Structure 1
Amino acid sequence: MSEAAVKHWKPEWQRDVVYLHVFPRVMAKCVPNISPFAMKVEMWLRMNDIPYQIVDHMGFSSKSQTPFIMFNEEEIPDSNFIIEYLSKYFKKDSYKGIAKEKQAVARSFLKMMEENTTWSIFWYRYVEHMPEYRDYIKFQVPEEIQEKMAAGLSSGVRDRAWKHGIGRHSSDEIYKIGSDDIRAISTYLGDKKYFLGDTPSLIDCTMFGFLTQILFVPLDFPMKTVINEECPNIVDYINRLKTEFWPHWDEQQL
């Protein structure tokens, strides 16, 4: 194990236990973690009954990403690669019994959410409403540098959004993009129990990780208005997933 990897290990680490490194839970209220990608991975671990422990960690992986896992002397970054790796190791099928055509639809929605919709969330909370969001998350750094850290984060997200392309649009246009994505999710979901039908799958983990950031974080996202006024099936869907897979949600440490 490299010296860089050793510093991430808990002294009592065990084989075949997933150590999920995420931003400290104490930063979030109303959701267990401020990162939708961390929420996605943890939901998948819960859905598949894989042993794991949360490690509060303000740092990043070797790819400068969060979350990442430490697993049997390996660091594995990126939520999708984490799930792919663990699926093979634990012999879990993220789309068990689901037709290939539906799996293709799921991948399209997953990429829409992670590469498109997410920008409407990040733009609202990091660029346009950073002071309000800063009060919500309470950076785990000394008070005297919190404002500087928040300003740097806001500037960094704005720069990344510009390079992505979506940041070249007006705020109203960005929120329209996110809201139209929400409407597409609601249309495809319909009255199904899970996103693809009667069986939970990876796409449910993705939807849960991101939609909870809109629904439960106490900010007035335009996409939240769309969900509450036009898409009650999304509210019911997220609450079903929360009840089934996260029964200790309010305790947030479980």
Structure 2
Amino acid sequence: MKLQLDTDQLLPWIGAGVSLGGLIVAASFVIPKLLIRRKLSRFSADKCQKNVVILHGTRRTAGIPAASPFVLKLETFIRMANIPYKYDGNLSNSLGPKGKCPWLSLNGEHVADSQICIEFLQKKFDNPIHNSYSEKELAIARMVRISLEDKIYWELLLWAFVWPGDGQIAVQKFLKFPYLLVKYFNRHYTKLAWAHGVGRHDKETVKSWLLKDVSAVAEILGDNKFLLGEDPCVEDACVFGCLSQLLWGYQSMSHHAAVIRERHQNIVDYCNRMKELYYPDWDQLLEK
């Protein structure tokens, strides 16, 4: 006996299913926006101290104030520029209006992405870091930043979250991430690294690139006190934010960090100099 389906009887159910699916899709867009709006309202101009930056970052860690090079980059710039600020390490506030960390709030304005934050603060505080470097020198500094953020960062990310072995162990031990969270990040960053392109290459190739890229930064740094010479420039914030992770962050447990300490004493000296100059309270900032 064949079951006869009445189209007229099915149509209401189909319509209800389509409506429910539409509601689910709509909710997936609306709810995150409502949550972000609610988060931002907690840092409106009337609820925060005037002209004081609220830096929304990650929680403090045991060896370094921020395990994210981008968070430490922004905090370093703020300190270099002597801008008054408060640090917000509440994990529920870590992701800002673009779903990125870090972000900042200032007098009711909310800005996301470390580089955009720095450019925003430069305008608000009238370019507070002054030096006499030429446009060509500043262009070289910019390219160093881009190399650190768009290449070296990703190469180290593979070691920490994608390749099995000591990187994932270091993340669990240093950041106190549970195993399941590390596995989640493994899947997440594997996809991102593949889309970026660096994840399509074999481990030995990427490791070779990483050492050469860091050596190039060391060559440009040379015997300089700061990246370009005797005076700091804006990009020193990024250089310190990234390279300090290899000395005091979870990346300090990597083979690459050992090579840097052995071959590039100028990088070690540079990071120590920046730390002493801009973070006299370093130990007080660490997770207890």
The TM-score with structure 2 as length reference comes to: 0.80
Q: Which has the higher contact order (CA 8 A, sep 6+)?
A: 1
Determine whether 1:241 maps to 2:255. Answer: no
**Equivalent residue letter for 2:285:** Q
Query: What is aligned with 2:256?
Result: 223
Match of 1:40 in 2: 73
Is contact 1:242–1:249 with CA below 8 Å preserved after alignment?
yes
**Partner letter of residue 246 of structure 1?**
Y
CA RMSD in angstroms comes to 2.1
Matched residue count: 246
1:54 aligns with 2:54: no
Structure 1 residue 160: Cα displacement: 0.6
- Report the identity percentage: 29
Which residue matches 2:28?
Answer: none
SS in 2 for 1:202: coil
Alpha-carbon shift at residue 94 of structure 1 (Å): 4.4
Quote how far apart the aligned CAs of 1:9 are.
5.8
1:22 has 2:57 as partner: yes
C-alpha separation in 1, matches of 2:132 and 2:156: 32
User: Is this contact kept in 1: 2:45–2:107, CA < 8 A?
Assistant: no
Query: What SS does the corresponding residue of 2:169 show, helix, strand or coil?
Result: helix
Match 1:119 to one of 154, 157, 166 = 154
Quote the Cα distance in structure 2 between the aligned partners of 1:227 and 1:132.
18
- Quote how far apart the aligned CAs of 1:7 are: 3.5
Gaps of 5+ in 1: 140-145
- Offset of residue 80 of structure 1: 0.5
Give CA deviations for 1:31-75 in whole Å, capped at 9, x if unaligned. 001110000000001011000000013231121110000111111
| Letter aligned with residue 99 of structure 1 | S
Flag the 1:222–1:45 CA change in 2: closer, same or farther, 3 A.
Answer: same
Residue 171 (structure 2) aligns with: 133
Tell me the equivalent position of 1:142. Answer: none
TM-score normalised according to structure 1 size: 0.90
Residues 177 and 6 (structure 1 numbering): CA distance in 2 closer, same or farther, change over 3 Å?
same
Question: Do the aligned residues in 1 keep the contact of 2:211 with 2:256 (CA within 8 Å)?
Answer: yes
| Higher Cα Rg, which structure | 2
Query: Which residue of 92, 105, 108 maps to 2:143?
Result: 108
